Each structure stands twice: as C-alpha cells, then as structure tokens.
Structure 1
Amino acid sequence: MTDKILSASLAVLMLSAGAVSAQDAASESFTAQVAAADGTDHGTVTVQPTASGYALVTLDLQGLPPGQVAVHLHQTGACEGPSFESAGGHLALEGQDHGIMTETGPHVGDLPNLHVPDSGEVMVEHFAPELTADVINDDDGTAFIIHGGTDDYESQPSGDAGDRIACGVLAAAE
C-alpha cells in the first residue's frame, strides 16, 4: 500500500512539474510596435507561444491601405527605413520554401494576406505552428513586415508581395 501511495505521489509531482514548465514556456510573449519609415504608427503585433506548440499571433493594426496586403515575420530584428531590407528574408526553418501552395512550404513566418477595409483598421488572430520563443528570440531577433502588395502564396522567395511599407521588431513583453 505504501509503495502505491509513493508511486502515485511521484506521478503527481512529475505531472505538476511538466505542467508548470509548459505554462512557463507559454507565458513568454513578444510584441512589436509597427511603423512606416516616416514614423507613422500602424499598431501592434503580439506573438504568444503556447503549450500546444502553436503560437497565437495577434495583429492589431491601423492606417493601412484598403484592399489586400501581405504580412510576414522576417528573419532579422531590424527595421532600418526606408525599405526595411535590414529585416532580411522571411523567417524560415531549414528546408522550408515560401508559400502555403508549395510542397515544402510554408515558411514559419508566412501569414495570410490581410483584407483591409476602407477604415484601414484590422484586428485578427492566427495560429502559427513551429513559431516558438526560441525561433523568435534567436541571436538576431525577428521583425514583422507589412508589404504593399498581395502574397500569391507560391512565388519564391517571398510571394511577390511588393515593397515593405511598415516594420516592427518583436521584443519580449515586460
């Protein structure tokens, strides 16, 4: 009987430790203040890694051109205007090509196009597999880019998404 109680207690401790570590891992979030090269504020992006292995990406944006625009996470946490080329290419894991329409895609940083109403305001949430705190917070950081065109979800390396019109560097939320 004592062995059963001891085994059960040990199992509860192990499960509790696992739940705490998963909760701790999911509690680290990252936020970017997104702006155009002229300083115009376009809102915020928040990435919340979760215990499921998917990240919750929340876009709360304003002042966007009506129509469709492409948005992506880029490999370097730098937003030097006016073209934001310092952000590098799309955030991608080894062996990933751009686009949901490709056999080896999408990049971990590929997000769906935004359909922006006349108000220029968008609030949307996405689930992003493989987007973990380690991927976001690597040695050179991660940037969020708004493009001037629409992503075709297959052209390499970036979906023919057009110019980079706004950028924000993801930083650990305090």
Structure 2
Amino acid sequence: MKKIQLFAMGLILVGAISCKQAKKEVETTTEEVVEEVKTEVMASKTITFAMEAKSDSNVAGDVTFTEENGNVIMKATLTGLTEGEHAIHIHEKADCSSADGKSTGGHWNPTFQPHAKWGAEGGYHKGDIGNFMADAEGNATVDFATNEWCIGCDDETKNIVGKAVIVHQGVDDFTSQPSGAAGARVACTGIIQ
C-alpha cells in the first residue's frame, strides 16, 4: 500500500512539474507573439503634409509618406497646376520660407551622385523622383515607392525627415546638372516629423 501511495504522490509531483513547465512555455510564447505584434505595428509610419504655393502659383495639395516593411510609399495629390508634365523632387532642407521655394536648397543627394532619372545605371540623387502629368483641370496624383528612403531612421543616406518636397513648373530633362532644368518651384512642403 505504501508503494502505491508513493507512486501516486510521484505521479502528482511529475504532473505538477509538467504543468508548471507547460505554463512557462505558454507564457514565453505569448510574450514572443506580443513582442512580434508590437514590432509589426511600430514598423508602419505615416506622415502627411500640406503643400504651399510658391512663385505666385495656385498649386495646393498634400503629400503622404507611409513606411511599411522597409519601403516608403509617397502619394501626392495636387491641384492648381498648368496642364501637362511637371517635375517633383525631394530637396535638402525642410524650409519653405522663401516666396520662390529656393530656401529648400538643391536636390537631396546624400550619396553625391549626378542628377539623373531615378534608377539610372550611373547613379542619381535620392531626391530625383521624376515627372508626372497634370490633367486639363490642373489636377494630378503622384505615386512613388522605394526601399531607398526611410522615415526617421538613423541612416542619413535614407532618412527623408528634415527634407522638402518641391513641385516644379516645368519638366525634368534628367540630364542637366545639378537639377534637371525643371524651372520654377511652384509648390513646397517641409518633411518635419
């Protein structure tokens, strides 16, 4: 009878230890899943800015940047443009204080490349977004995505915070140095987070 009681007590002890171990594993797994979800939620950032008219234009609109899974998506919605093609770039300073938008400096070029079309084999500015079309009513939407930008990261060759978005009156020719000869700056917004 003593052997059965000792055996039963041993089973209860083993069961209790197994339950504690299982509980600990569930708690650890739960903590890992919660941490993973927090990381995924933090990985998505969105910032939106209103465009200011410059150079006596009537251009208005907004620009939204969303960072998800290592990519930054830019969407610009614009009104008040002249019909046709226009250039859009990221410039080096988030300073839209001047009437002509020139307070933003030149194109953002942290890797010291020549001006060119985005993706050009010989290099290009990180701010060389390109051209877009405005319709007969002066409306346009620009969609652009890249893994070469980030929002507020520590990599100064990728971080767009502290820069400006400039819309030009003319077309970027992708060859003239250092800016593509795109003409007057007709809209500006500073990217300040």
The alignment's TM-score, normalised by the length of structure 1, stands at: 0.79
The amino acid of 2:99's aligned partner reads P
| 2:147 equivalent to 1:126 | no
Following superposition, the deviation at residue 12 of structure 1 comes to 6.0
How many aligned residue pairs are there?
A: 168
Distance between the aligned counterparts of 2:77 and 2:86, measured in 1? 14
Q: 2:35 aligns with which of 17, 22, 35?
A: 17
In the alignment, structure 2 segments of 5+ residues that lack a partner are 1-17, 153-158
Q: 2:126 matched to which residue of 1?
A: 108
| Partner secondary structure for residue 43 of structure 2 | helix
Q: 1:77 matched to which residue of 2?
A: 94
Distance between the aligned counterparts of 2:34 and 2:138, measured in 1? 45
| Partner secondary structure for residue 189 of structure 2 | strand
Following superposition, the deviation at residue 39 of structure 1 comes to 7.3
Following superposition, the deviation at residue 112 of structure 1 comes to 2.6
The amino acid of 2:190's aligned partner reads V
Following superposition, the deviation at residue 131 of structure 1 comes to 1.6
| 2:65 equivalent to 1:33 | no
Q: 2:174 matched to which residue of 1?
A: 153
The amino acid of 1:151's aligned partner reads D
Distance of aligned partners of 1:162 and 1:37 in 2 relative to their CA distance in 1, 3 Å threshold: closer
Q: 1:94 matched to which residue of 2?
A: 111
Following superposition, the deviation at residue 17 of structure 1 comes to 2.3
Following superposition, the deviation at residue 111 of structure 1 comes to 1.4
The amino acid of 1:162's aligned partner reads G
Following superposition, the deviation at residue 95 of structure 1 comes to 4.1
Following superposition, the deviation at residue 8 of structure 1 comes to 7.7
Following superposition, the deviation at residue 37 of structure 1 comes to 4.0
Distance of aligned partners of 1:10 and 1:66 in 2 relative to their CA distance in 1, 3 Å threshold: same
Report 1 or 2 for greater relative contact order, CA contacts < 8 Å, sequence distance ≥ 6.
1
Larger Rg computed on CA atoms: 2
Distance between the aligned counterparts of 1:5 and 1:29, measured in 2? 42
Q: 1:49 matched to which residue of 2?
A: 67
RMSD, matched Cα = 2.6
Q: Does the 8 Å contact 2:48/2:62 carry over to 1?
A: no
Distance of aligned partners of 1:57 and 1:14 in 2 relative to their CA distance in 1, 3 Å threshold: same
Distance of aligned partners of 1:7 and 1:46 in 2 relative to their CA distance in 1, 3 Å threshold: same
Following superposition, the deviation at residue 60 of structure 1 comes to 0.6
The alignment's TM-score, normalised by the length of structure 2, stands at: 0.72
Q: 2:189 aligns with which of 164, 168, 171?
A: 168
Q: 1:117 aligns with which of 128, 132, 135?
A: 135
